[in-house]
A and B are shown apart, each in its own frame.
Chain A
């Protein structure tokens, strides 16, 4: 039997394309201090630390110890988690596991990245098999672009459907999120006229590279109720990995790993009708195309129904199920932190602390993580310790 787990604190940096003012540890320390401050805790309240990034982005291979100047993990147990694009969401899940296991009372989970310190597309390409796949996969963008050609061919979706997602997420970042990296509104026409990076993905369809960090504090039920007036309860987690042979995943128009992970998280949380029960979603959508193709895997529409869902407006702020009030990954992408930002933002929503980006009355939220070989994480978070 697992113990109940609450989120009690969240902090993030003001994200930027190139953070030359900070060494990695300094960046981490800002997110950690903000998280502690948001919970009213000090570092002595923290029993263990989980931390991660994309090792090869900064070529720092013992980040658990290297980061202590920023994490505050001196003489504490530290677990390093690095799972590619899902690093941030996996860090969040590991924080959850620490508390759910009953071994720790208060755990600090940290994700960070200084994307600007390396050639990140080359670095990402090392996630593909070096012998048979790496040469043609084109970093993170290539496989996402290819997946959309399969989806367009199968379901008749268009590049314009994807552009609507880009406009939505960028608008939310610009209007509601002071921490976001890109805070620029754009029109569908501007997205459509931007240059092809990797057909059918255009410049304004794809996420940026960001320097930034995020920290989330997890606690046992007893601790959470003392620390926070309204903790965010983690009700369900799902994690699904697939093969390294990425071609097998791309050939499909859909994302089976997300479907499986969502099923597991929903089942654990008691979500039976996601569109009705969820109030807000913070989704790892690294390209606007994924904001169309992955909706059905989350159970938000029928098979091939992504374009209809996106065009209906229900995923906009003020709609029935707003997606990415923070602006999501298209606006802010410090990769090791990106998935943890989704969890932190989802927690803020159900805690009623999302400020300008608050979805009124949000009680149940879903957060996702995505990795470049097409694996997925899903987290269900609520202001209620259990769903009825």
Chain B
């Protein structure tokens, strides 16, 4: 059997080149981000066959594979399905900086939607959070249409 090799003089090198990307947001997400920015409205899109509503909007229904055209607003309130209080930092690939911690990732089904979104919750004490809680979106004061940032965070409606 091949033996493990040990070399006390083994060399490691560092590659630090930036690799930026320029994502094309597309028809559906552009509409989604514009509605958030200009009207503080969260829009989804409805499947003409099974009538499921998807948020964020997207081109085809996952089950029916038909093109979806009907945009409609959904509620900015919804139900918290799952969450995690994130305590480890890592490189936020959208900014190239360490992610600020702690933050709570929140998986939410908005009223009127059949799919879920992930955003953050302004509560990082896990003993004060429970799956099934009602939450609402808090929109950013300065909205730019950048990423999902025009919703600043979600807050718990009732404790």
Q: Which residues of A contact B (CB under 8 A)?
A: 13-14, 20-22, 26, 29-30, 33-34, 37, 59, 119, 121-122, 125-126, 130-139, 141-142, 145-147, 149-150, 152-154, 195-201, 243, 245-248, 250-251
Contacts and interface: CB of A to CB of B under 8 A. Distances in A.
B18 interface: no
Contacts of B116: 245, 247-248, 250-251
Contact of B131 (A59, A150, A248): A150
Contacts of B4: 13-14, 21, 30
A243 B10 contact: no
Nearest to B32: A132
B117 A247 contact: yes
21 contacts: A13-B4, A21-B10, A122-B90, A122-B93, A130-B23, A131-B56, A132-B29, A133-B118, A138-B84, A138-B90, A142-B105, A146-B82, A149-B82, A149-B83, A198-B87, A200-B84, A201-B84, A245-B56, A248-B115, A250-B82, A251-B116
Nearest to B19: A59
Contacts of A136: 103, 105-106, 118-120
Given A130-B23, A133-B118, A153 B85 contact: no
Interface of B: 1-2, 4-7, 10, 12, 15, 21, 23, 25, 29, 32-33, 56, 58, 62, 81-88, 90-94, 99, 103, 105-109, 115-120, 126, 130-132, 147-148
Given A34-B1, A246-B118, A247-B117, A59 B15 contact: yes
Contacts of B58: 245
A267 B147 CA distance: 43
Secondary structure type dominating chain B contacts = loop
A119 B91 contact: yes
Q: Considering residues A153, A199, A200, which has the most beta carbons from chain B within 10 angstroms of its beta carbon? A: A199
A197 B29 CA distance: 32
Contact of A20 (B12, B25, B29, B131): B12
A151 to B, nearest CB: 9
Given A33-B2, A250-B81, A126 B93 contact: yes
A384 to B, nearest CB: 29
User: What 9 A-B pairs come out closest when comparing CB atoms?
Assistant: A153-B131, A122-B91, A145-B84, A121-B90, A251-B81, A146-B82, A150-B82, A247-B116, A199-B85
A20 B10 contact: yes
Contact of A247 (B32, B90, B118): B118
B130 A251 contact: no
Contact of A137 (B88, B105, B108): B105
